[in-house]
Structure 1
């Protein structure tokens, strides 16, 4: 995933920590082996190389993420779309590596028209999926959150009930700290925004943040950020960061990306329609929050 992970938890005996570390790493390695476009042997890379129209057998976790991604795509009218891998590569934010200049309009239009979440079929019970065009899947907007969920589930299966999992900034908090306090976390604000860190209490909650100020490139004074709007085939503009709270980090991750693409006004309408707790920082440094997020402050 190109990032780090950490876990804080209450353990009955210090000697268990080494085994826990190895176990969490194995869980995340499994997610990478299925969902990383940077790995040629991964399941997602195999899917993207497969014959157009042919069903491919895929592992359960892969199909769980694909099914969730297609659900968010439908809910958002395509503002979130896991089929834009080729567009992400064209802008230099994928496994193909950086680019010296922005792709031209003809290139992005060709790739955009070949993509589209409706061109992917996912049958979870039959453990298979297929594509009907030359699109490429990309789970960058959802896989880290899923990894945090899987690490948390692994800890729960071992009997742990009090922990904080973090994978590249995506967070899952369960139970409480030994002093009875919830897992307090500070979400950093964009550097150009004169806002204090967003302090959250995670108790049976996940938090994911999508920020457009970390990965970008500039050409002739114009900045292009890494979050791509599937509807235009170009980088999204207008939003600096979005944090979403949700019971599942996978969905918090995907919804944060979605709202970043939709922008402040449409993003708030989307969050309120689905009852999502969302905090938005716009490009000018102002902040907005959904009704559900505001209710958590009361």
Structure 2
């Protein structure tokens, strides 16, 4: 009888352990989660037990789905789609998350003198990098000038108290260069709310790191050599408790008669970038901010990017093109964090 009772208790405990962990502790190892959301992929590595990590997946996808439903330019009922249809000078109530991201986007647009501009969407679409299918044609000057009249962040305002957006002129919002970073931050916050402190979160290439691996070593990241079609590391750094975003012109572009047209559009000129900056990696506490600044630095070019990074005390690593390959420069804050070149 006692033996049977013991077996029943053990079986009950094992069954409960599948849901709650019972009184057993799982081995803490680096677990991996993968999925798709926001039009891209995500991957997460965290130090946890196997069942613990699996129980997080649904919540993580809920976080990403909620952000996408509000900030997508493809979904007709998203906050951004409603903003495009809203009457001029009329306040549009939006989700608090949307207002936070738009406010930060407008702040960084002002700080970067418009090299980052969340109203650049019509230009991106004109050049074939938006929702409209690409025809690999170069727009003429009159088309570009006409679209430039619909670009300019000062015509957009946000009220963080009432969570309202307003536009004084015809404008569209595209948060693709900041929303992925925000999503990384939100997923990281969700993971921490569940009691985990050692993790790596990646959404569409933007990342945030916390803590360390089970053996006490730091997370490692390879900054890629900016060569199309290759995945070769240019530099490897150890990271903990930081967010990283990279922007470059070497993955999304089209060519006509040997001339490359990058997806990185200068909102001030209406044309794709043509300077020698190939990629820029930004390290900050906030992935949302790192994402936006990486875009701005990529557009403005290496000299202006390094100057602004020094002024704002941002850790930046820049790879630029040379006739015989690539070279790199970095901000003093990057040197303090990761060492000299």
Provide the C-alpha distance between the structure 1 equivalents of 2:274 and 2:189, rounded to a whole number of angstroms. 35
Q: 1:195 to 1:287 in 2, by over 3 A?
A: farther
Provide the C-alpha distance between the structure 2 equivalents of 1:87 and 1:58, rounded to a whole number of angstroms. 24
Q: Aligned with 2:73: secondary structure?
A: coil
Provide the C-alpha distance between the structure 2 equivalents of 1:224 and 1:110, rounded to a whole number of angstroms. 20
**Could you tell me which residue of structure 1 aligns to residue 10 of structure 2?**
none
Provide the C-alpha distance between the structure 2 equivalents of 1:108 and 1:229, rounded to a whole number of angstroms. 12
One of 184, 204, 209 as aligned partner of 1:173: 209
Provide the C-alpha distance between the structure 1 equivalents of 2:231 and 2:247, rounded to a whole number of angstroms. 18
Q: CA RMSD in A?
A: 1.7
Unaligned regions of 5+ residues in structure 2, if any? Answer: 1-37
**Could you tell me which residue of structure 1 aligns to residue 87 of structure 2?**
51
**Could you tell me which residue of structure 1 aligns to residue 292 of structure 2?**
254
**Could you tell me which residue of structure 1 aligns to residue 272 of structure 2?**
235
**Could you tell me which residue of structure 1 aligns to residue 7 of structure 2?**
none
Q: Aligned with 2:246: secondary structure?
A: strand
Provide the C-alpha distance between the structure 2 equivalents of 1:144 and 1:200, rounded to a whole number of angstroms. 22
Provide the C-alpha distance between the structure 1 equivalents of 2:91 and 2:43, rounded to a whole number of angstroms. 37
**Could you tell me which residue of structure 1 aligns to residue 45 of structure 2?**
8
1:149 positional shift: 0.5
**Could you tell me which residue of structure 1 aligns to residue 328 of structure 2?**
287
**Could you tell me which residue of structure 2 aligns to residue 245 of structure 1?**
283
Unaligned regions of 5+ residues in structure 1, if any? Answer: none
1:195 positional shift: 7.9
Provide the C-alpha distance between the structure 2 equivalents of 1:207 and 1:297, rounded to a whole number of angstroms. 13
Provide the C-alpha distance between the structure 2 equivalents of 1:196 and 1:18, rounded to a whole number of angstroms. 31
Provide the C-alpha distance between the structure 2 equivalents of 1:54 and 1:278, rounded to a whole number of angstroms. 39
Alpha carbons 2:226, 2:278 under 8 Å: kept: yes
Query: Aligned runs of 1:92-131 on 2, under 5 Å?
Result: 92-131=128-167
Provide the C-alpha distance between the structure 2 equivalents of 1:100 and 1:52, rounded to a whole number of angstroms. 33
Tell which deviates more after alignment, 210-219 or 183-192.
183-192
Which structure exhibits the higher relative contact order, with contacts defined as CA atoms closer than 8 Å and separated by 6 or more residues?
1
Report how many residues are paired.
Answer: 297
Provide the C-alpha distance between the structure 1 equivalents of 2:232 and 2:40, rounded to a whole number of angstroms. 25
Q: 1:201 to 1:109 in 2, by over 3 A?
A: same
Provide the C-alpha distance between the structure 1 equivalents of 2:86 and 2:237, rounded to a whole number of angstroms. 43
Query: TM-score of the superposition, structure 1-length normalised?
Result: 0.95
Alpha carbons 1:174, 1:203 under 8 Å: kept: yes
1:194 positional shift: 12
Alpha carbons 2:46, 2:53 under 8 Å: kept: no
**Could you tell me which residue of structure 2 aligns to residue 277 of structure 1?**
315
Alpha carbons 1:115, 1:133 under 8 Å: kept: no
Look at both structures and tell me which one has the larger radius of gyration over its CA atoms. Answer: 2
Tell which deviates more after alignment, 81-90 or 288-297.
288-297
Alpha carbons 1:264, 1:280 under 8 Å: kept: yes
Q: 1:177 to 1:195 in 2, by over 3 A?
A: closer
Query: TM-score of the superposition, structure 2-length normalised?
Result: 0.84
